[in-house]
Amino acid sequence: MITIGQVTTSHGSRGELRVIPLTDFPDRFSRLKEVVVEHNGQRSVRRLESARPHKQFVILKLEGVEDPETAQRMRHALVQIPEEDLMPLPDGHYYIFQLIGLEVFTEAGEYLGKIDNVFQTGSNDVYRVLSDTGKEFLIPALKQVVTVIDLEQRRMVIRPLEGLLDG
C-alpha cells in the first residue's frame, strides 16, 4: 500500500476529514472510488463519497464517517492506495519508494551499498547510499552520473564524477 495522505483533523459538521496530501498528484483524490485507511495498526477499505481541494489540504468524505466526533477519532490516520493505482510517471522518473533499497554499483562493478534516502533539493534529487560498513555516499540524480536504474533487478549503476566517492 502507498500512502497518499494523512488525516490532520475533522472538517465541518458532516464528518469530513481534512487530509494533508502526501503525493505529487493531489488531484488523484477526486478520481478515487475507495481508499484504504490505516489507523492504530488497523486497515479498512472505505468508499470515497467526495473529495475537494481546500487550501493546502484535501477534504474527504468517507462512507461511514457521518459526524465530527467520528472524524476527529481518525486524526493521524493514513490514506492509502494499492501500488497498482499509482499515477504513471514519464520514462526515466521514479517514485522514491521504488528507489529505496536499490543496490548501487559503479560501472566498474564496485558495490557501494543501498539507497536509504532520497533528498529532494530542488535542482536535482540526491540519493544517499549507505555501505555495509556505514560509509555514506551522496549521489546526484543526474543522467551523466546515474547510468542504469533497474527496478526488476533492484540495482542502480553509476558513473562517479571525479571526487564523488572520496572521503
Predicted confidence band of residue 140 (pLDDT cuts 50, 70, 90): very high
Kindly state the average pLDDT of the residues 40-44.
89
Q: For 34, list phi and psi in degrees, rounded to 5.
A: -150, 160
Give 12-42 as a 3 state SS string.
CCCCEEEEEECCCCHHHHHHCCEEEEEECCE
Which positions ≥6 away from 58 have C-beta within 8 Å? 5, 18, 19, 21, 26, 29, 51, 52
From CA 112, how far away is CA 88, in angstroms rounded?
30
Kindly state the average pLDDT of the residues 77-98.
85
CATH superfamily ID and name for 2-85: RimM (2.40.30.60)
Residue 114 has a pLDDT of 96
Q: Is 104 helix (H, G, I), strand (E, B) or coil?
A: strand
Which regions of the chain carry the CATH code 2.40.30.60?
A: 2-85
| Angle, CA of 159, 102 and 35, to the nearest 5° | 135
Prediction pTM value = 0.65
User: How many angstroms separate the first and last alpha carbons of the chain?
Assistant: 38
Tens of pLDDT, residues 43-70: 999 999 999 998 889 999 999 888 989 8
96-158 carries CATH number 2.30.30.240: yes
Residue 167 has a pLDDT of 59
- pLDDT higher than 70, residue 33: yes
Which regions of the chain carry the CATH code 2.30.30.240?
A: 96-158
Residue 58 has a pLDDT of 93
CA distances (Å), origin 23, targets 9, 20, 36: 18, 9, 15
- pLDDT higher than 90, residue 88: no
Q: Where are the alpha helices (DSSP H) in 38-99?
A: 68-72, 96-99
Mean per-residue pLDDT over the chain, rounded: 90
